Amino acid sequence: MSIFGNIMGKIFGSGQAKAAPAPAPEASAPASGVPAAEPAPAASPAPASVDVGVVLAEMASAKGGGGNYQSSIVDLLKLLDLDSSLDARKALADELGVHAGAPGTAEQNIALHKAVMAKLAENGGIVPDSLRN
């Protein structure tokens, strides 16, 4: 699985419990008293959006802080129990097409964090501005 896929799995997997459930379809009783045929199964609803800020804050609280995950890609990866090594960040940068600064520099790490948050939002995550800047 890709590094970003692992990030999504950690956040969206944890966040599914925090997502708003889809309303259940109402069953109507037939007027004639004769049982009606079962309706065709509805298409699976799109997954509910996950509030990335809430999920990460809860993870950080459970771990006693979480460092500066709001702006640090290293702390974000550590919070998610993922590899935060330079090699892992280089691979993530390649995967997301981030080529700002030399690998491991503050410039690249900041750009990488922003790219991860933007990609989470593209994939249905609710990402607050505090995590995008």
Spell out the domain ranges in the chain.
1-17+49-125
| Separation CA 77–CA 101 (nearest Å) | 20
**Helices first, then strands: H and E counts in the chain:** 6, 2
Q: So what's the pLDDT on residue 34?
A: 53
| Separation CA 118–CA 98 (nearest Å) | 12
Residues 3, 48 contacting (CB under 8 angstroms) = no
One digit per residue, the tens of pLDDT, for the chain of length 133 reads: 799 999 999 999 864 444 444 434 444 444 555 545 554 444 444 456 899 999 999 999 999 888 999 999 999 999 999 999 999 999 999 999 999 999 999 999 999 999 999 999 999 999 999 998 7
Sorted by sequence, the CB contacts under 8 Å of residue 34 that are 6+ apart come out as: none
- The model's pTM: 0.75
